[in-house]
Structure 1
Amino acid sequence: MDYVIRPVRAEEWAKARELRLAALQDPLASIAFLEKYEDAVARPDSFWQERTASAAAGREVVQFVGEAPDGSWHGTLSLLVERPGTEVRVGKPASVEQTHVVAVFVRPEARGSGLADELFRTALEWSWALESPQVERVRLIFHAGNARAEALYRRAGFVPSADPSPIPGDEMAREYEVRRARA
């Protein structure tokens, strides 16, 4: 199936909400996302409107969606822009200008279609095209028990760092930062 990969628009908050809630119901959601379905579904519309508007602005965060020909969304990926000395959202503080891949999700019926690869291609292109800040690397963090995610990230050209980070709230589990330096 052919997908259009594009940034989310502010007025599409209801579709963004629905896709996020679907992601949080995935069997691997407990190790893939730092949010629970019960918390997300209880959030007011204003939360989703603000979140989507921020992602649509594309300054500190951008959200890409994979849109099918019928207008339905089958996948998403977000990027956080991280600078040294700024607030840590996930993982260790940034030591260089970077983007951070988060909230990757492809609906089960679209898995294996190449959609995830296209989302990553678009995310990397967007990151390298930034002029301010000029990104030196793109990183992501994943739970060591998420083999499906690890295979995708390796296919996209990411390699593990030597310094794993603990998962907030679960000191026994581990995540690994994965980086891909600017080509």
Structure 2
Amino acid sequence: MAGAAPPSCDDFRMSYEIRPVRAAEWREIRDLRMYALQDEMAPLAFLSTHEEESAYSDEFWRERARTSSVDFGPEAVARQFVAVAGDGEWAGTTVTLIERAGQQDFEGRTIEHDGAHVVGVYLRPEHRGSGVIDGLFDAALGWAREGGLDRARLLVHRDNPRAQGAYRRQGFVPTGIAFTGKMGPELEMAREL
């Protein structure tokens, strides 16, 4: 229809189902992760490579799915959320990890505060700008709040302005902590829940 307004972000968000993954969906989890690891920004966004994770066994993927799924139960310390488009395509994902003060994070750094750590954020390029990232973060941070946490953090590569902008829109701000990690120069961003 000529002159019709483009759909709003809210219209696009309505066409996605945002939910926690199920343990039986290990193949879909694996396939989306393998797709994400081929993204041009993957070297600045993920701690692993497509080549490394291609060698992981089906059992590895089953266990990853099981322990981050809604099926794992209340003792879960990780929850993966997925955005499923109306046509069934897995459009994006994020994972929330529960961290406890005194533990070591995956960079080997001591965790200062109990909180959530958001990792594995990915949205297929054709779904970016649709507002679906808002729904993924709402779900991921909502799960952390339900678990009694009041703070969330994430790490982002210094040279990944696209991700930094997306995280700022979600209320994350730089904490002033910067370090050289496994992917190079990284910044910590955090927000209250």
| Fold equivalence (TM over 0.5) | yes
Deviations 1:75-110 (A, max 9, x none): 000011100122322463222210100000000110
Question: What is the distance in 2 between the residues matched to 1:91 and 1:164?
Answer: 14
Task: State whether structure 2 residue 119 is matched by structure 1 residue 102.
Answer: yes
Task: State whether structure 2 residue 184 is matched by structure 1 residue 167.
Answer: no
Give the structure 2 partner of residue 48 of structure 1.
Answer: 61
1:177 aligned partner, one-letter code: E
Q: Secondary structure at the match of 2:177?
A: coil
Give the structure 1 partner of residue 165 of structure 2.
Answer: 151
Deviations 1:12-40 (A, max 9, x none): 00000000000000000001000010011
Normalized against structure 1, the TM-score is what?
0.91
Normalized against structure 2, the TM-score is what?
0.87
Shift of 1:129: 1.3
Question: What is the distance in 2 between the residues matched to 1:20 and 1:154?
Answer: 24
Match of 2:47 among 34, 37, 58: 34
Distance 1:82 1:37, change over 3 A: same
Question: What is the distance in 1 between the residues matched to 2:89 and 2:185?
Answer: 34
Which of 110-119 and 15-24 deviates more? 110-119
Give the structure 2 partner of residue 20 of structure 1.
Answer: 33
Deviations 1:24-68 (A, max 9, x none): 000000010000100111111111000000101261111000011
Task: State whether structure 2 residue 190 is matched by structure 1 residue 176.
Answer: no
Check the 8 A contact 2:96/2:141 in 1, yes or no: no
Give the structure 2 partner of residue 115 of structure 1.
Answer: 132
Check the 8 A contact 2:116/2:152 in 1, yes or no: yes
Question: What is the distance in 2 between the residues matched to 1:30 and 1:5?
Answer: 26
Sequence identity (%): 43
Q: Secondary structure at the match of 1:125?
A: helix
Question: What is the distance in 1 between the residues matched to 2:138 and 2:63?
Answer: 26
Deviations 1:128-166 (A, max 9, x none): 111xxx213100000010111001000000000112122
Check the 8 A contact 2:83/2:92 in 1, yes or no: yes
| CA RMSD, 1 decimal | 1.3
- Gaps of at least 5 residues in structure 2 are 1-11
Shift of 1:71: 2.0
Shift of 1:175: 0.6
Number of equivalences = 176
2:122 aligned partner, one-letter code: F
Check the 8 A contact 1:31/1:143 in 2, yes or no: yes
- Gaps of at least 5 residues in structure 1 are none
